[in-house]
Amino acid sequence: MGSIEYFRSAMKSAHKGLLDVIEDLTDEQLHFRPLDQGNHIAFIIWHYVRTEDTVLNFLVQKKKPVWNEEGWDEKLGLDPRAQGTGMTDEQAAAIKIQDKSAFLKYMENAFSSSEAYLDGLKDEDLDQVHELAVMGKRSLYEVIGGTILQHSANHLGEIQYVRGLQGLKGSPV
């Protein structure tokens, strides 16, 4: 198995895990804040998907993120540019997903876009270095392996933990 095959498989697995972990949540569970100060699941998942969408589409491919291209900011009543990084606790807490089924559709579309991009790559493409605003120079190895896959694992674990704090099934271990 080559590197790109591994990245494709890992990304599909991450996407499935992120979709599955929020699918059964009620609005109350989605917006529960641990100790009224931690991030709620709605913010965490919104932040992750927006980041993947922005990094792979806007920063790497120089095209509009799915979020903007398909008008999800308007459909969901959320900021067209924000993706969570650098927000204060109050700003993060204010992010609300009012229509979970619409947000799940955005997730699916953004994830499909990312997977289609990876489907077009070969192992040798991973050495390409991109100048990414805010992030500096990064190879596709670093972008996909670190910024995307590591980031997804971090936030999936965070979501599982917040589920557990609510008495719900957390990690499938």
CATH assignment of the domain containing 16: 1.20.120.450
Mean residue pLDDT across the chain: 97
- Per-residue pLDDT for 15 more than 80? yes
Residue percentage of the chain with pLDDT more than 70: 100
- The pLDDT of 129-149, averaged and rounded, is 95
- Mean per-residue pLDDT, 158-167: 97
Query: Number of folded domains in the chain?
Result: 1
The reported pLDDT for the residue numbered 48 is 98
Does some domain include residue 170?
A: no
* Domain-embedded: residue 173: no
Q: Quick one: 4 exposed, middle or buried, by C-beta within 10 A (0-12, 13-18, 19+)? A: buried
pLDDT of 171 > 90? The answer is no
* Higher-scoring residue by pLDDT: 100, 37: 100
126 falls within a domain: yes
* Domain interval for residue 118: 3-165
Q: Per-residue pLDDT tens for 80-99? A: 999 999 999 999 999 999 99
Average pLDDT over residues 17-29: 98
Is there a domain that residue 171 lies in? no
DSSP state, 35?
A: G
pLDDT of residue 121: 98
Q: Report pTM.
A: 0.96
Residue range 67-72: mean pLDDT, rounded: 98
Interatomic CA distance for residues 15 and 18, integer angstroms:
5
pLDDT at 94: 97
In a domain, 172, yes or no: no
pLDDT at residue 173 is higher than 80 = no
If 0-12 CB within 10 Å is exposed, 13-18 middle and 19+ buried, where does residue 48 land? buried
